Amino acid sequence: MYFAHFGLTQIPFGITPDTEFIYPSRSHLEGLNLLHFALASGEGFIKVVGEIGTGKTLLCRNFLAELAPEWKAAYLPNPQMEPRAFLHEVADDLGTADGEPDAAHVIKRLNRRLLDLARAGKKVVICIDEAQTMPRLTLESLRLLSNLETEKRKLLHIVLFGQTELDEMLNAHSARQLKQRIAFSHQLLRFDTDEVGNYIEQRLRIAGHSGAPIFQPAAIKAMSHASGGTPRLINILGHKALLAAFGEGQAQVMSHHVRAAAADTDGAIQTRRWWPW
């Protein structure tokens, strides 16, 4: 690989969400602050949406890592299941899965478990990733969970992380009761050009680079254009651009390396080259 060539100790542009490489963009920080504020306010439902590759899963993991000790969290990365299986999964994460499998009994056990946790000074939050994949009836079952409360506060907080299709699902007439319960929402935005440059520099530094910048300013602009500011595409293009520069024996990544990477990447925006004639 290109590690020794660029003075790196690990891959700087992996596509697996890794909290070691978290970049605090404005949108990411706003989302993180909103999540903590919403929990502190005692709100039952929070929603975070974003286009593919904008860092929803990374934000979710960052949020879970920052929860205070009094919080007990359940994380559901794949909620694409029918309602009873979904409720059983939640019960399992909260330590009350044993018992009758029908939905009514599961909800009763969940209510008892949540009351026990509340008496022990614990608060509970469920983070559901890829929420746009939930079947309609399973999405409706969230409303049943949100009814678990005492006279003074919610026993359960639910955070939905999903692509923009989640908004379309919640806009359906059948989901209106659930939509009305969402007190806070946030949309993750793509990076601007300055954030793309800072993002690339930070990842290279964490990966071990300590010398002069590897990506030329023109290459940063090309990366911003080709990726549209989407972190996942930046990672894919960054890895390929480093390979292209390494293949030519270059110490820096130039714009033509980025264009070559974009030409080889589905979803990347191609740069049109205009000739005077």
Percent of the chain at pLDDT exceeding 90: 72
- Inform me whether the pLDDT recorded for 150 exceeds 80: no
- Inform me whether the pLDDT recorded for 275 exceeds 60: no
pLDDT for 39 = 92
- Inform me whether the pLDDT recorded for 53 exceeds 90: yes
Residues 6+ apart with CB under 8 A from 117: 72, 94, 123, 124, 155
Model-level pTM? 0.90
User: What whole-number distance in Å separates Cα of residue 46 and Cα of residue 52?
Assistant: 19
pLDDT for 229 = 96
Mean per-residue pLDDT over the chain, rounded: 91
* Pair 12, 213: CB distance under 8 Å: no
- Inform me whether the pLDDT recorded for 23 exceeds 60: yes
The total number of residues shown for the chain amounts to 277
For the chain, which domains are there? Answer: 3-9+191-263 (1.10.8.60), 42-188 (3.40.50.300)
pLDDT for 175 = 87
Diameter of the chain by CA atoms? 77
- 257, two tokens: 């390396």
* Pair 108, 95: CB distance under 8 Å: no
Banded pLDDT at 210 (limits 50, 70, 90)? very high
- For residues 52-72, give the mean pLDDT: 94
